[in-house]
Amino acid sequence: MAGIDTSWQYGPNGEIIPAGGPSPGPGQGGGEDGPNLLEMLQELLGPFNEQLDQINPQFLNADFADASGTLDPIIADFMKIGQGGADPRFAAFQNSQFNVLRSAAGKRQAMTQEQFGRRGFGGSGAELGALAAIEKETGMQEQNIASQLGLQQLGRQDNALLTAGNLGLQRAESVNQAQQSELDARQAGLTNLLANPTLITSLLAALAGGDEDTLELLEDMLRDMQDGGGIAPPTNPNTPSVAPTA
């Protein structure tokens, strides 16, 4: 876009004042000397206004409040575990530890029976005593494992409560941030609506006052707006990241 010709004399409404003649009324053209500046600016801002019509409703109607709702069921799962409720993953781990122990004990008993059988003492008191000893040892090992697993489960419950609390705080912060982002986006939408008339008013004032520096700055802004720049759709700042699982 070429710079605005400051050699013309402009009236308060953007009209060009004919040399040696009175200023036309508001909205009138410049007669033989040139076009109405206000009408020219509105035409130049056409691409910006089209983009404004397409994008600005996303600012004015911004809704980010539900972005963190996916955390609610995860928080509930951790709270249930922390309060001593069902913990399927830990229960499966616990069962696997006992199964390993029982499988090893069964193999030892089978080997003992085989050895006593080969020696001709199958079913003897000695064999029964050896099998009972294996069973007793296995029971003691189960008690030790149960104690260790009980401590692990208590620690897991404490960690679950801590995680649930941290996720709850994250959820609350996310909601607060979403609400603030909505307000910011809507305020930006209102500001966008004022961009066009504000620029034109400032430009006319700079022309009327002969302020060359301000005029140059406003012309740069006008170029950006003419290219449809300066507006991008609002983005949701609270897109949830991958949350931990219980």
Percent of the chain with pLDDT over 70: 65
CB 239 within 8 A of CB 77: no
Dump the DSSP string for 39-78.
HHHHHHTHHHHHHHHHHHHHHHT---TTTTTTHHHHHHHH
pLDDT digits (tens, 9 = 90+) for 206-215: 666 666 776 6
**26: which 2 tokens?**
């508001």
pLDDT digits (tens, 9 = 90+) for 52-109: 787 888 888 877 766 567 788 888 899 999 988 888 888 899 899 999 999 999 999 9
What confidence score (pLDDT) does residue 2 get? Answer: 43
Q: Is the pLDDT of residue 166 over 80?
A: yes
The domains of the chain are located at 1-34, 45-226
